[in-house]
Chains A and B, each alone.
Chain A
Amino acid sequence: MAGSARVAAATLITALLATACSQGSATRTEEPAAGGKVTLRYFTFSAAPDHVKDLDTIVAAFEKENPTVDVQVETAPYDQYFTKLQTSIAGQTAPDTFELNYENFVTYATAGSLLDLGAAGGDTDTSGYATESLNAFKHDGKQFALPASFSTVVLLYNKDLFEKAGVPLPTADWTWEDEQAAAEKLTADGVYGDFQPVTFFEFYKALKQAGGEFMAGGKSTFNSPQGVKAAKWLVGKVGKTMPTEAEIGGTADFDTNLFKSGKLAMWHNGIWQFAGLKDVPFAWDVVVEPGDSQKASAVFHNSVAASTTTKHPREAYAWAKFLSSSNVAATTRIASSWELPPVSDQAVLQGYLKDPVPANRQAVFDSLDSIALPPVIARQQEMQDAVTQELTEAAAGRKSVEEALTEAASKVDALLG
């Protein structure tokens, strides 16, 4: 059997060599395309499946302005987007430009995968952007991505249910106590008063509403009286004014269907839900989320970044800028409710208010007055999962809120290293 061992050893060595070689050689052999045209790849998760046509509109306008550039769009669903992006970066076939959300931005900027767009473009005019959005995508003082869109979380409510129960409608002045009191009155006969998922994203926001901080000076600070209050606020709803995990049955979109079928009075969710609620047979509206010691609304930002390996930095910058701040892009987004453009031009944004449903669209802009950006670290996903898991334990009654937060804090501190 010595022969077979030799065969096996030879196989392994060949294999190792081949892989080692593949690590070393990383030459790009694509392009240039025929006719002096530059092909620019753009990879996105937010376009499919609902806004592919809107993106096409923006691409067409860009190509008309830049006839030498051909933008090639690639889409993937959010769940798989980062699997694909990471693999392509590992294989040195990263797309020239790609979409990044705020939570993942730091990971990629720290890794050195992103082109410094400020230097690449040669023009530094950023007057078209809302300053806060622009700053969110700076890292070490460099503009590694341009903000392309944002959306906020508000309180959606079923007007009919409120009126039937004789409960006054939510206002912008509401606090947690008002929300809880209303939710208790509204919960009856198969109707739930409230729905707010017990997750990392709701927790960091509630924490800010309670006046707490998630972390400071490289250590977690959420295991505080404010943190306990915020966690209790979320966990306390479960099984009282909100369905339990068992009732939700792990079904995705359970809350969406509950609200659409008129069995949910108040719903903490994003403005991306508006389009899907066009045809519901009841009256509904939105209001800025109730706060505790202060107001704080969650904002989700998406940006467009360019890869350091792109051969066309100028074109990449031009496309990133067009997609994020051009008038065509902004108006296309507003017209199709494809999130909001992070532009400073108020006249463009006013277009968003023209749509009659929901009536109080102004609340979306009001929510921007005091925003809560998620805490972001290099090991982001592990942190999010750890916090969500511990809060879920508390919600299921397997741990006390205090135990869960202590455990979560020690996990997060370990991740902060």
Chain B
Amino acid sequence: MARAGRYVVVGLGALIMLFPFAWAVITSLTPAGAVLQTPPDFTPDGAGFGAYERLLETMPFWRIMFNSLWIAVASTVFQLVTSSMAAYAFARLPFPGRGALFAVYLATLMVPLQVLVVPLFIEMRTFNLTDTYFAVLAPTIASAFGVFLLRQAVRQVPREFDEAAVLDGAGHFRIFALVVLPLIRPALATFAIFGFMASWNSFLWPLVIIRSPEFMTLPLGLANLHGQFTTEWNVVMAGSVVSVVPILVLYLFAQKHVIASVAQSGLK
């Protein structure tokens, strides 16, 4: 009985969660004139892939996808490496001023991006780096959010594990790579998704730093569908649907990975 109840709760919730996405898909298949009716028309006439074709023709779509993908992947890899190393230091390597330094890390999350964009632009300008891939990528090499998330995970790893390794004569690099990293794989997989998402959806910074169309990323391309007076909502929705897909794929991959890692880690 309780079991059936659980399915009902989880299932109903799932329907509510699916709803907006289904709506975005349907709108993207709706011909331009018929979109955004209230209430929405869930069985539009003349449905088709016109909006997706328009997406391909109004912008260098594949180029944009390629840019967004490689920037997001690179930034995710950078963040995983830099954050997990810092997390290990903050959780396992005591040194004077560690608490203060961690506070500085956290403090970087506390000033809104909106006021950092202009000084950062000026800084990039001084280094002659505006309108480059590097400039787009730079602010996402390190992530204080990731350091914090992974530090919490490292602190949850029982100390007996590294103490055993120390007895075997292992140094910090080996403990980090061979003991700690495998044990925090669920947290790494979680962070990979958020790191990817942050870069994939990032808008304001790429907007100001990029000016050549060849460096354009997906959110910028989608924003270009909003004209001064009119917006092609079906194309915007098609773009939104397309933009969700890579993250969803990554999520499904990471989820498998998380479960596999827990099964292998010997924690069960």
Interface residues of A (CB under 8 A from B): 1, 3-5, 7-8, 11, 18-19, 21-23, 25, 29, 45-46, 48-50, 74-80, 83-84, 87-88, 90-93, 249, 251-254, 256-257, 260-261, 270, 272-273, 276, 279
Q: List 21 A-B contacts (CB under 8 A).
A: A4-B99, A21-B126, A49-B224, A74-B211, A75-B224, A77-B224, A83-B207, A83-B208, A84-B207, A84-B208, A87-B118, A88-B211, A91-B125, A249-B38, A251-B36, A252-B231, A260-B33, A273-B229, A273-B230, A276-B230, A279-B33
Within 8 A of A (CB), among B36-87: 36-38, 58
B101 touches A4 (CB 8 A): yes
Total residue contacts A-B, CB cutoff 8 A: 110
With a cutoff of 8 Å between Cβ atoms, the chain A residues found around residue B96 in the complex are 1, 3-4
- Asked if B163 is at the interface of the complex by the 8 Å CB criterion, the answer is no
In chain B, what residue has the closest Cβ to A92? Answer: B125
Docked Cα-Cα span, A4 to B225, in Å, equals 49
B121 touches A91 (CB 8 A): yes
Interface residues of B (CB under 8 A from A): 33, 35-38, 58, 96-97, 99-101, 104, 117-119, 121-126, 128, 130, 204, 207-208, 211-213, 223-233
Task: With A272-B228, A272-B229 given, name 15 new contacts (CB 8 A).
Answer: A11-B104, A19-B123, A48-B224, A49-B225, A77-B224, A87-B117, A87-B118, A87-B121, A88-B208, A91-B124, A253-B233, A260-B33, A261-B37, A276-B230, A279-B33
Docked Cα-Cα span, A77 to B221, in Å, equals 10
With a cutoff of 8 Å between Cβ atoms, the chain B residues found around residue A8 in the complex are 100, 104
B228 touches A78 (CB 8 A): yes
Docked Cα-Cα span, A19 to B116, in Å, equals 12
In chain A, what residue has the closest Cβ to B33? Answer: A260
B122 touches A90 (CB 8 A): yes
Contact of B223 among A1, A80, A253, A270 (CB under 8 A): A80
Distance from B23 Cβ to chain A, minimum over Cβ atoms (Å): 13
Docked Cα-Cα span, A276 to B227, in Å, equals 13
With a cutoff of 8 Å between Cβ atoms, the chain B residues found around residue A260 in the complex are 33
Docked Cα-Cα span, A211 to B204, in Å, equals 43
With a cutoff of 8 Å between Cβ atoms, the chain B residues found around residue A276 in the complex are 230
Interface of chain A, main secondary structure:
helix
Docked Cα-Cα span, A19 to B118, in Å, equals 11
With a cutoff of 8 Å between Cβ atoms, the chain A residues found around residue B99 in the complex are 1, 4
Distance from B98 Cβ to chain A, minimum over Cβ atoms (Å): 8
A22 touches B230 (CB 8 A): no
A45 touches B228 (CB 8 A): yes
Distance from A254 Cβ to chain B, minimum over Cβ atoms (Å): 7
Docked Cα-Cα span, A78 to B36, in Å, equals 22
With a cutoff of 8 Å between Cβ atoms, the chain A residues found around residue B227 in the complex are 48-50, 77-78
Docked Cα-Cα span, A251 to B122, in Å, equals 37
A256 touches B230 (CB 8 A): yes
Contact of A3 among B97, B121, B130, B212 (CB under 8 A): B97
With a cutoff of 8 Å between Cβ atoms, the chain B residues found around residue A21 in the complex are 126
Distance from B243 Cβ to chain A, minimum over Cβ atoms (Å): 17
Docked Cα-Cα span, A410 to B230, in Å, equals 33
With a cutoff of 8 Å between Cβ atoms, the chain B residues found around residue A5 in the complex are 100
Evaluate whether A22 and B122 lie within 8 angstroms (CB atoms) in the complex, with A1-B97, A29-B128 already known: yes
Distance from B112 Cβ to chain A, minimum over Cβ atoms (Å): 15
In chain A, what residue has the closest Cβ to B235? Answer: A49
In chain B, what residue has the closest Cβ to A86? Answer: B118
Docked Cα-Cα span, A247 to B212, in Å, equals 41
Contact of B123 among A1, A18, A48, A251 (CB under 8 A): A18
B125 touches A257 (CB 8 A): no
Docked Cα-Cα span, A85 to B212, in Å, equals 14
A90 touches B121 (CB 8 A): yes
Distance from B20 Cβ to chain A, minimum over Cβ atoms (Å): 15
Docked Cα-Cα span, A80 to B117, in Å, equals 14
Docked Cα-Cα span, A234 to B167, in Å, equals 82
In chain B, what residue has the closest Cβ to A254? Answer: B36
Interface centre among B33, B38, B227 (most CB of A within 10 A): B227
Distance from B261 Cβ to chain A, minimum over Cβ atoms (Å): 35
Docked Cα-Cα span, A180 to B66, in Å, equals 55
Docked Cα-Cα span, A219 to B141, in Å, equals 51
With a cutoff of 8 Å between Cβ atoms, the chain A residues found around residue B212 in the complex are 74
Docked Cα-Cα span, A84 to B35, in Å, equals 30
Distance from A219 Cβ to chain B, minimum over Cβ atoms (Å): 32
Docked Cα-Cα span, A91 to B131, in Å, equals 12
Docked Cα-Cα span, A78 to B229, in Å, equals 9
